[in-house]
Amino acid sequence: MTDTSSTTVHSVETGDGDHRVVFLHGLFGRGKNFSMIAKGLQPEFRSLLVDLPNHGQSDWTEELDYLQLADQVAEHLESSFAADGPVDVVGHSMGGKVAMVLALRHPELVRKLVIIDISPVGSGSSRSEFHHLLDALAAVDIESAERRSDVDAALKDPIPEAGVRGFLLQNLKNDGDGLRWQPNLTLLRSELETIMGFPDIETDLNQVQFPGRVLWIAGEKSNYVKDEDEPVMRALFPSTIRLKVRGASHWVHSDRPQEVINALRTFLLSERK
């Protein structure tokens, strides 16, 4: 793996194939969340696993909105992975919204787009769920915790699901002076309404359309992508193909990795541009 860090955005490059694909994670995630998918796409693909700002090893910011996030990712790609031409972009949840805005604001950087289980319509029904998780993380006395198991124990009551805790605990880092959370929890809490929303199509995005092809993947057990969202999806991305993955929740690539790998390989390697 090659470290391709810039001032703001950290990323890791893996694989050495001819086809370049960028992965953008969701809230509480890291680029490494897509390691299994990236490995499954080898040897044809070279993947860039991005830590979005305020996550992972990327820098924290004082403000957060999707236009800013997309522009920060664009700047990083222009100076590195997309310097030789447009790349394919895959985004999940919050990262899917960043990917959409990236494609709309910087279409010269994006060849094909894959959105995993999110739509360009505000997901207000999920706000309370994520607010609860952010509150639970912020309530942990992280300075007193000596081990990951201490934090896990503190989270058991507010977050009884072991799988969810395990996912969140990936964000713990021991920097020599003790444990700390890598995500900017204070900013993410204050900007949760922005994160759950989407930029205004008319005022923020100037009613532009992305001309490239888009694969929209949704989990069968998830309600993040609704049929009533499709008019907005196609207004922005007219060349859209929809795919529902059976048995998958919102975390489609974790629940059904091989199905996602197969779908990405078929879509991204197809000759039609």
Note whether 219 and 112 are within 8 A (CB): no
pLDDT at position 248 over 70: yes
Superfamily, domain 2-122+198-269: Alpha/Beta hydrolase fold, catalytic domain (3.40.50.1820)
Note whether 241 and 88 are within 8 A (CB): no
Per-residue confidence band for 5, with pLDDT thresholds at 50, 70 and 90: very low
Average pLDDT score over residue span 12-41: 97
Spell out the domain ranges in the chain: 2-122+198-269, 126-190
pLDDT at position 53 over 70: yes
| Residue 272: per-residue pLDDT | 54
Note whether 76 and 6 are within 8 A (CB): yes
Rounded to whole angstroms, the Cα distance separating 77 from 31 reads 14
Rounded to whole angstroms, the Cα distance separating 6 from 83 reads 14
pLDDT at position 150 over 60: yes
Rounded to whole angstroms, the Cα distance separating 163 from 39 reads 22
Rounded to whole angstroms, the Cα distance separating 178 from 173 reads 8
Note whether 168 and 140 are within 8 A (CB): no
Q: Which residues pair with 107 in a beta bridge?
A: none
Note whether 252 and 245 are within 8 A (CB): yes
Note whether 30 and 171 are within 8 A (CB): yes
Rounded to whole angstroms, the Cα distance separating 55 from 51 reads 6
Report pTM: 0.94
Structure tokens at 98: 């960043």
| Residue 232: per-residue pLDDT | 95
Higher pLDDT, 123 or 223: 223
Per-residue confidence band for 177, with pLDDT thresholds at 50, 70 and 90: confident
Rounded to whole angstroms, the Cα distance separating 104 from 91 reads 14
- What DSSP element (H or E) covers 23? strand 19-24
- Please give the mean pLDDT across all residues of the chain: 93
pLDDT at position 7 over 90: no
Note whether 205 and 101 are within 8 A (CB): yes
Is residue 133 left, alpha or beta, with left meaning phi > 0 and alpha meaning psi from -120 to 50?
A: alpha
- Selection from 268, 240, 270 nearest residue 47 by Cα: 268
Rounded to whole angstroms, the Cα distance separating 121 from 233 reads 8
Rounded to whole angstroms, the Cα distance separating 16 from 14 reads 7
